Structure 1
Amino acid sequence: MSASNYATERETAEGKVFTVTGGDWDVVLSGTDPLNDERIVVNMGPQHPSTHGVLRLVLELEGETVRELRSVVGYLHTGIEKNMEFRNWVQGSAFVTRMDYLAPLFNETAYSLAVEKLLGIEEQVTERATIIRVLMMELNRISSHLVWVATTAMELGAINMMLYGFREREYVLEIFELITGLRMNHAYVRPGGVAQDVPDEAIAKIRDFLKLMPKKLAEYEKMLSGQPIWLERTQNVGVLDATGCLAMGVTGPVLRSAGLAWDLRKTMPYCGYETYEFDVPTHTDGDVWGRYLVRLAEIRESLKLVEQAVDRLRPGPVMVADRKIAWPAQLAIGVDGMGNSLEHVAKIMGQSMESLIHHFKLVTEGFRVPPGQVYVGIEAPRGELGVHAVSDGGTRPYRVHYREPSFVNLQALPAMAEGGLIADVIAGGASLDPVMGGCDR
């Protein structure tokens, strides 16, 4: 095996320097300032679990104490934003849904709101479509937070929580499959509305979930909140106060755990959130423990929002009336749970030439968007998810750039970890809830 597979030792003017993986670290080591007679540089990641997938952390350690931390991103880079410049505005939904793969419906909604703002059709989006968007986003927020509590607990030793968190998330994914035909990467929210209506069986399953989930949350708290090891691993760990959050642009549960009740659903409402009753949970400690409490409380608030959205649903269209923009949303899911129903295919192929032409033009060419640029921000599970969309007047985006909370929040990790123990790097990093698909888009 090559020397790069072993820890090597070099003599420097300052003393001994131990390097993990060998000579390719010379650039990293050139900036070190060894204490006493040795400093160890450790490569943590990219790996699952602990660093949440393809995140690499370069740690400079003095014993068990982290003296310096560098986050290295880009290992999951997919070029989604660049690829969108070669697809039409309708096809964009199928790209953005794959960025933060734990919050696909937020990616889609933010994009659709930006395109609708460019088109000037915000007021034309139907009430039912807007309510469905809120319903789907809040269910998605719950499923995302469930993944967070499951994986974070596993990384800190509470392995059984992984089973319970993913069990309830599976219930949400089944609801998504009933509505969209897919468990993830739905491309369901589209400019002008949503791809198809919510079936009655999905509504029934949602109401069952609303009865089930509060009991499960009580089980989580019983399992974790009073557990001595959990308290030891989370309290006063990864502390970041509100001043630090604001200085680095950190938003979402991390900011709210530091005491600032900043939530775009309240402060800059969209999709009619100002008409719903819900609270913005906060904590004051700004540590991993506070972020845990905030996220559990947010699940409860999302359950309130889901119940209100279901109660508000009234019959009506789910796509704008303008046929030059509207996706053909009168379709139904096929018997295999995927694709269009045979009845819809038969109609557009054999009964209505106008429907066939419209369907073909939307899929191949799309619609033209007036020149201009907009920014739209929404409150995603990890914080402010913003879309800067630019149109040159054509059928394709000139530029679409996301302000992705995972990417922004990760810059807080050194401030949270430096001076602490190496074990607390895992807890602090997990409490940011980074999803590298969004970070590296």
Structure 2
Amino acid sequence: MNVPLQYDYRPEHLTHSEPNKYGLSDLRKEEMILNMGPQHPSTHGVLRLEIITDGEVVVDVVPHLGYLHRCFEKHAESLPFNQIIPYVDRMDYVAAMNSEHAYVMGVERMLGIENDIPKRVEYIRVLVAELNRLASHFVAIGTYAMDIGAYTPFLWMMRDREQILRLLEWVCGARMLYNYIWIGGLFYDLPVDFEERCAEFIRYLKPKLIELQQLVIENKIFIQRTANVGVLPMPTAINYGCTGPVLRGSGLRYDLRRVDNYSVYPELDFDIPIGTGEMGTLGDCWDRNWVRVAECWESVKIIEQCLAKLTTDYARTRDFDPQAMVPKKIRPKAMDFYARAESSKGELGFFFRTDGRSDVPVRCKARACSFHNLSVISEISRGGLLADLVAVIGSLDLVMGEVDR
């Protein structure tokens, strides 16, 4: 190719003479490739983003994965079903109880014992899962506020999350990776006086959630940084397989706790918040964060109902054994089976293939909600400003242990 010897030569494919979205038609610009991560704190883990920019405008974003590969599926294919639970904890380590709940219910349905689980066990499972959902959303909201420049909400969220982690540590002895929900039951019953301590925490938390809304979600600067940014239309969210608050922020009332009616959720009263475009465009970063805050209130309602049931209808008894239905040997029939549940970030599913002869799955595949939510980042970042890309990443609430699993 003949290259003119002139100082201002630019290849044709990098020259933009047509007006861009900001009306800058008289400037000749170059596309530039930047790397964000994999150690950048605002990428929420070891995620590398290859960003193609035109000045301050994002032309395209290409995520590169695999920096935190945990080999979960191959580990699971070499272990009995009951020994896989600690590895499930390490996928979404911010919401391990929710992951355990999804996995254990899947195995129980495959074995056909889901209807034999005692009601007290079911209510305890939902109680600890909703506590962990609160803790997960606190991390999402707190780190998101810090990503866009507000430090105080992060400290407040970590303060309240710490109390939840202390409650869960009291239940099972572990701070983040629990191995508490077992196939057929629980590792142990709730400690004595746990229900009272949990109810006391919920009373403390309610005014803190009101402060959170005023400090963050209703804050003028927060609204200006998130409204009309990273807009995800509902059809695009569905096509990319997005679930959880990312999908509900786009206006679709889809929650597996209501769609599949698993465990004791059909007996509980709670709503499914969705984005409405109140502060900007439907499906923007503000909507996704508002849905998480609204879901915190719904989790509080669920926890209060579980506590009421656990102290009246299904109160502890001296002869109650949470491991009574735990199978001594897990050997399912030869089949392909898929089960799913609503994690704090969306639909978490597990596919099992069994041969009928072993207690080890022939194939185990996890459907990670963070992976699908991350896949949409290119669609909702193109044409935006580079400064807004961090806001877009944070609004997806990614955990790379689940993406790279």
- The reply to whether TM is greater than 0.5 is yes
Q: Residue type of the partner of 2:266?
A: E
- Please tell me whether residue 235 in structure 1 is matched to residue 232 in structure 2: no
- Please tell me whether residue 183 in structure 1 is matched to residue 183 in structure 2: no
Q: Residue type of the partner of 1:301?
A: E
- Please tell me whether residue 249 in structure 1 is matched to residue 241 in structure 2: yes
TM-score relative to the length of structure 2: 0.89
**What SS does structure 1 have at the residue aligned with 2:67?**
coil
Match of 2:289 among 292, 299, 302: 292
Deviation at 1:269, TM superposition (A): 1.1
2:35 maps to what in 1? 43
Q: Residue type of the partner of 1:228?
A: K
Superposition map of 1:9-408 within 5 A:
33-36=13-16, 38-284=30-276, 285-313=282-310, 314=314, 315=316, 317=320, 319=322, 321-322=324-325, 325=327, 367-393=330-356, 394-408=358-372
Contact 1:125 1:320 in 2 (8 A): no
Deviation track 1:292-331 (CA, whole Å, cap 9, x = no partner) reads: 11111100000000011111112354546456x15xxxxx
Supply the distance in 2 between the matched residues of 1:48 and 1:195 (Cα, whole angstroms).
38
Contact 2:186 2:323 in 1 (8 A): no
Supply the distance in 2 between the matched residues of 1:430 and 1:424 (Cα, whole angstroms).
10
Q: Residue type of the partner of 1:372?
A: M
**Identity percentage over the alignment?**
39
Q: Residue type of the partner of 1:373?
A: D
- Please tell me whether residue 417 in structure 1 is matched to residue 381 in structure 2: yes
- How many residues align? The count is 375
4+ long deviations beyond 6 Å: none
TM-score relative to the length of structure 1: 0.82
**What SS does structure 1 have at the residue aligned with 2:336?**
strand
Deviation at 1:200, TM superposition (A): 2.1
1:437 maps to what in 2? 401
Contact 1:126 1:318 in 2 (8 A): no
**What SS does structure 2 have at the residue aligned with 1:59?**
strand
Deviation track 1:210-242 (CA, whole Å, cap 9, x = no partner) reads: 101111111112212343321111100010011
Contact 1:110 1:377 in 2 (8 A): yes
Supply the distance in 1 between the matched residues of 2:197 and 2:323 (Cα, whole angstroms).
27
Deviation at 1:103, TM superposition (A): 1.0
Supply the distance in 2 between the matched residues of 1:99 and 1:158 (Cα, whole angstroms).
28
Change (3 A) 1:204 1:16: farther
**What SS does structure 2 have at the residue aligned with 1:266?**
helix
Change (3 A) 1:120 1:212: same
**What SS does structure 1 have at the residue aligned with 2:177?**
coil
Deviation track 1:309-357 (CA, whole Å, cap 9, x = no partner) reads: 111112354546456x15xxxxxxxxxxxxxxxxxxxxxxxxxxxxxxx
Q: Residue type of the partner of 1:286?
A: G
Q: Residue type of the partner of 2:379?
A: A
Moved more, 250-259 or 198-207: 198-207
Q: Residue type of the partner of 2:303?
A: V
Supply the distance in 2 between the matched residues of 1:371 and 1:241 (Cα, whole angstroms).
41
- Segments of 5+ residues of structure 2 without an aligned counterpart are 17-28, 277-281
Q: Residue type of the partner of 2:383?
A: G
Supply the distance in 1 between the matched residues of 2:139 and 2:235 (Cα, whole angstroms).
28
